[in-house]
Amino acid sequence: MTQYLELKEMTFHAYHGLLEQERLVGNTYTVDLKIHADFSRAALSDNVEDTVNYASVYEVVKQEMRTPSNLIEHVARRIVRQVHAAFPLVERVEIRLAKKNPPFGGDIKEAAVVYL
C-alpha cells in the first residue's frame, strides 16, 4: 500500500531571485509536498510520535523559505534535504515550488520546479 502525507499550497512571501528588485520586494511562492513514509504504526497507535508531524514539516519549509536564494531549484533542494534530516521516518519527498507572476515581462501565472 502506498502511503504519503501531502501539504498543499503552503503560501509564503519570500525574497528569492536573481534580480535585485526580487530580493527587495519579494514575491509570493507556493510549496506542495508529498512525503512518503510508513504510517502503519501511527494508524494503530494514534500517537503523533509515530508519524511525521505535518505542523513540524510546515515549520521546516517556512524556515527554508526565509533564506534568500538565487534559484527556486536551490530552495526546493534545501527543503527536501531538511525534511529528510528532521524526520527519519521519511522515505521520499516530492516537492513543487512555484514563484507566482515571475518578473520577466511575460503574461505567466507562475514558474515552478518539481522534484519527484
The rounded distance, in Å, linking the Cα atoms of 115 and 113 is: 7
Q: Which residue out of 34, 99, 100, 109 is catalytically annotated? A: 99
**Would residue 34 show up in a list of annotated catalytic residues for this protein?**
no
Point out the residues that are catalytic: 99
